């Protein structure tokens, strides 16, 4: 197998995955010609509104897209984490935040805060305290200057996001063709040489990025990748989605995940409207029943639409010179909003090979990149499985089924260890390296849901005193935070400069 030179990349699909791919490959690789071909008939998915921290990092640090212009054109709001209305029966909630929280170690010889959070998790980090006070990550310093955190997630409206990315792609010199791809040609080694378009044109290229969404037109339909289902661990397969215009002032700086009878519902806050999506299992209720439940609990919700999906990944995301990015390469339900995050991860793997090989495709590296990608996807499945196994909020047939039947898969050893010894940092050794949730994520979910553990030691008075002093500092810091509307006015003001 010899290395192949890549000088022209063809991206198929013009959703967020297609444009994120085109922009990265244009900007990160020198002398690369990038073309997007997208169907004028097949619309983009039109959902996907919540991100992890890696998406803003990708946009503003890897692609170097201006934050101020992004706020002006896409009108995102901030996401500091997820408020889980989840876990114990009753009305309680817990926060899984994007800043260090349960994994904070107050002194080198101290136990991490997760032990203290078993007793009381409130205000266990700055983001958590901001979330509970509905404040933005914008704190006014003693000098009266606003300080805005950059390591946060976004809430973004899918269509506005795609339109913005398209404008940026055109500025970066990406050619955009509006045509269906209907066929392709391969060489004797099974590498794609060209695509056939609906108008009869041939489009040649050296590397083909499949961003065709759930159709997976190149990876699955043409290259024969096999779907690996996560249905033994994750049972939901349908979402009903709606929104309503805002009349109140409080914009929550987080995604809310509320336990519902047959699944869960997200709430995402924008400046002018709120969206709700009820993700459920069609084995336990129809879409019409889900719409009724969502409507009863959110009387202002408008017209709803239904989206079906299947949960899993492909056995390979990269076959010869075809790479899948976005829903074409895998999809897990949006509880942890990981789809755009995985777009970034797939692109990291592609960029790494091409940039470090000076624009050559190295066949020997493809199996390694496929294995690294598999680990990232399976980690998401394992993490989500924990959410379903330990949620005792409702006693409905769906949730009883989740508690008894969820296959914890790769999370099983960690759950066993936690049960025996509590939230030890040793758990970290059971979490794959360089994945998105890490110790903070896993322990936030275990502690927040009050997952079973035989560990029942109370913190010592000294430990509790140190934890209280830490929480006092957190509360003092957030006392000077402003709300989301005020913070949006700060970052969109003509005089505002991002540091
Ligand atoms: C219910 C739900 C909630 C979600 N929530 C989130 C979330 O909160 N956060 C998050 O990160 N993600 C979320 N997602 C996922 C997110 O919507 C997608 O991962 C993301 O928008 C990327 O989509 P895409 O670009 O892969 O596909 P799409 O937007 O479906 O785009 C596919 C593109 O391929 C083109 N195409 C298809 N076939 C052909 C062909 N033969 N020839 C030419 N062009 C073709 C289409 O025209 C289109 O341009 C959610 C998804 C669902 C279903």
pLDDT at 249: 79
Tokens of 477: 């810091």
Ligand 1, atom 16, residue with closest C-alpha: 48
pLDDT score recorded for residue 370 = 98
Q: Are the beta carbons of 139 and 146 closer than 8 angstroms? A: yes
Is the pLDDT at 381 greater than 80, yes or no? Answer: yes
Q: How far is the CA of 15 from the centre of ligand 1 (A)?
A: 6
Encoded tokens for 13: 């699909």
Best of 156, 213, 322 for a ligand 1 pocket test (most atoms within 8 Å of beta carbon): 213
pLDDT tier at 434, thresholds 50, 70, 90: confident
Distances (CA, A) of 359 to 21, 31, 122, 193: 16, 9, 50, 17
**pLDDT at res. 152:** 97
**Helix, strand, coil percentages, rounded to 5, for the chain:** 40, 25, 40
* Mean pLDDT value of segment 40-62: 94
Q: Is the pLDDT of residue 85 over 80?
A: yes
Show me where the domains of the chain are located: 4-75+155-229+314-378
Per-residue confidence (pLDDT) for residue 49, from 0 to 100? 86
Decide if pLDDT at 95 tops 80. yes
- What is residue 217's DSSP assignment? I
CATH code for residues 4-75+155-229+314-378: 3.50.50.60
76 neighbors 69 (Cβ within 8 angstroms): no
List of E strands, 33-180: 33-38, 77-79, 81-85, 94-97, 135-140, 146-148, 153-155, 175-178
CB of 14 shorter than 6 A to ligand 1: yes
The tokens for 151 are: 């390591």
The pair of three-digit structure tokens given for residue 488, joined into one six-digit string: 């949006």
Best of 20, 42, 51 for a ligand 1 pocket test (most atoms within 8 Å of beta carbon)? 42
Q: Label the pairing between strands 255-260 and 81-85.
A: parallel
Lowest mean pLDDT among 40-49, 74-83, 266-275, 318-327: 40-49
Distance between first and last Cα of the chain: 47
Pocket test for ligand 1, best of 15, 57, 163 (most atoms within 8 A of CB): 15
Percent of the chain with pLDDT over 90: 94
Mean pLDDT of the chain, nearest integer:
96
Res 36: pLDDT: 98
Q: For residue 419, what is the enclosing H or E element?
A: helix 412-421
Over residues 206-213, mean pLDDT: 98
The alpha helices in 63-112, defined as continuous H runs, are 67-74
Looking at residues 262-290, what average pLDDT do you find? Answer: 97
Q: Looking at residue 200, what is its pLDDT?
A: 97
Q: Nearest Cα to 59, choosing from 165, 155, 158, 149?
A: 165
pLDDT above 80 (res 68): yes
The verdict on the CB of residue 153 being under 6 Å from ligand 1 is: no
21-25, 213-217, 244-248: which range is least confident on average?
Answer: 244-248
Per-residue pLDDT, 165:
98
Compute the distance from residue 460 Cα to the ligand 1 centre, in Å: 51
Q: Has residue 248 got a pLDDT over 90?
A: no
Least confident range of 57-61, 233-237, 278-282, 495-499: 495-499
What pLDDT, on a 0 to 100 scale, did the predictor assign at position 48?
79
Q: How far apart are CA 154 and CA 268, in angstroms?
A: 10
pLDDT tens digits for range 148-199: 999 999 999 999 999 999 999 999 999 999 999 999 999 999 999 999 999 9
Cβ of 51 closer than 6 Å to ligand 1, yes or no, is yes
Report the residue count for the chain.
Answer: 499
How far is 10 from 3, CA to CA, in rounded Å? 19
- Rounded CA separation 213/483 (Å): 36
What mean pLDDT do residues 61-79 have? 96
Tally of CB atoms within 10 A around 306: 15
| Ligand 1 atom nearest to 241, measured from its CA | 1
Query: Are the C-beta atoms of residues 233 and 222 closer than 8 Å to each other?
Result: no
Q: How far apart are CA 73 and CA 146, in angstroms?
A: 22
Mean pLDDT of 438-442: 97
Average pLDDT over residues 98-124: 96
What is the C-alpha R_g of the chain?
23
Q: How many CB atoms lie within 10 A of CB 270?
A: 20
Write out pLDDT tens, residues 25-41.
999 998 899 999 999 99
Candidate from 24, 37, 45, 376 with most ligand 1 atoms within 8 A of CB, to mutate: 45
Query: Where do runs of H (alpha helix) occur along 202-338?
Result: 287-297
Q: What is the mean pLDDT of residues 329-339?
A: 97
Q: Tokens 């779907």 sit at which residue?
A: 227
Cα 181 to Cα 199: distance, rounded to the nearest angstrom: 9
Query: How far does residue 420's CA lie from ligand 1's centre (Å)?
Result: 42
The pLDDT of residue 347:
98
φ, ψ of residue 411 to 5 degrees: the values are: -85, -5
> Is residue 453's pLDDT more than 90?
yes
Residue of 373 and 358 predicted with greater confidence: 373
- For residues 311 and 333, what is the distance between their CA atoms, to the nearest angstrom? 7
- pLDDT tens-place string over residues 113-142: 999 999 999 999 999 999 999 999 999 999
Check if the beta carbon of residue 10 is closer than 8 Å to that of residue 197.
Answer: no
Residue 366 CA neighbour count, 13 Å, CB half? 20
Question: Is it the case that residue 1 has pLDDT exceeding 80?
Answer: no
**Per-residue model confidence (pLDDT) at position 30:** 86
Distance from the alpha carbon of residue 45 to the mean position of ligand 1, in angstroms: 4
Give me the mean pLDDT over the 221-226 stretch.
Answer: 98
Cβ neighbors of 457 (< 8 A, separation 6 or more) are 115, 422
> How far lies 468's CA from each of 117, 424, 472, 474, in Å?
11, 20, 6, 10
């Amino acid at each position: 197998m010899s290395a192949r030179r890549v000088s022209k990349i063809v991206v198929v699909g013009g959703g967020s995955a297609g444009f994120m791919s085109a922009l990265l490959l244009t900007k990160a690789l020198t002398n690369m010609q990038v073309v997007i071909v997208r169907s004028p008939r097949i619309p983009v998915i039109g959902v996907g509104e919540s991100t992890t921290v890696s998406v803003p990092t990708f946009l503003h640090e890897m692609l170097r897209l201006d934050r101020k212009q992004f706020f002006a054109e896409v009108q995102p709001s901030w996401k500091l984490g997820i408020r889980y209305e989840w876990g114990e029966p009753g009305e309680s909630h817990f926060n899984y935040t994007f800043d260090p929280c349960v994994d904070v170690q107050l002194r080198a010889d101290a136990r991490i805060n997760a032990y203290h959070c078993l007793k009381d998790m409130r205000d266990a980090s700055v983001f958590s305290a901001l979330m509970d006070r509905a404040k933005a990550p914008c704190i006014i310093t003693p000098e009266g200057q606003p300080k805005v955190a950059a390591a946060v997630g976004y809430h973004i409206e899918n269509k506005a996001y795609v339109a913005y990315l398209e404008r940026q792609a055109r500025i970066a010199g990406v050619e955009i063709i509006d045509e269906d791809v209907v066929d392709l040609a391969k060489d004797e080694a099974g590498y794609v040489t060209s695509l056939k378009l609906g108008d009869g044109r041939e489009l040649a290229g050296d590397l083909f990025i499949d961003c065709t969404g759930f159709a997976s037109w190149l990876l699955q339909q043409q290259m024969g990748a096999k779907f690996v289902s996560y249905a033994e661990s994750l049972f939901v397969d349908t979402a009903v989605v709606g929104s309503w215009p805002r009349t109140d002032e409080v914009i929550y700086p987080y995604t809310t995940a509320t336990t519902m009878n047959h699944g869960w519902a997200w709430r995402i806050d924008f400046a002018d409207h709120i969206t709700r999506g009820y993700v459920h299992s069609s084995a336990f209720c129809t879409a019409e029943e889900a719409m009724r439940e969502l409507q009863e609990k959110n009387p202002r919700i408008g017209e709803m639409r239904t989206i079906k999906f299947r949960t899993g990944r492909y056995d390979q995301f990269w076959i010869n010179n075809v790479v899948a990015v976005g829903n074409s390469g895998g999809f897990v339900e949006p509880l942890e909003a990981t789809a755009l995050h995985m777009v970034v991860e797939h692109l990291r793997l592609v960029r790494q090979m091409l940039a470090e090989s000076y624009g050559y495709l190295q066949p020997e590296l493809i199996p390694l990149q496929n294995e690294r990608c598999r680990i990232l996807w399976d980690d998401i499945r394992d993490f989500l499985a924990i959410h379903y196994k330990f949620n005792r909020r409702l006693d409905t047939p769906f949730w009883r089924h989740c508690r008894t039947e969820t296959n914890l898969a790769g999370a099983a050893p960690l759950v066993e260890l936690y049960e025996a010894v509590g939230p030890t940092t040793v758990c970290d050794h059971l979490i794959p390296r360089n994945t998105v949730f890490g110790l903070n994520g896993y322990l936030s979910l275990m502690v927040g849901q009050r997952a079973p553990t035989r560990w029942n030691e109370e913190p010592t008075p000294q430990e509790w005193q140190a934890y209280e002093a830490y929480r006092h500092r957190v509360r003092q810091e957030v006392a000077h935070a402003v709300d989301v509307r005020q913070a949006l006015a700060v970052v969109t003001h003509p005089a505002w400069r991002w540091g």
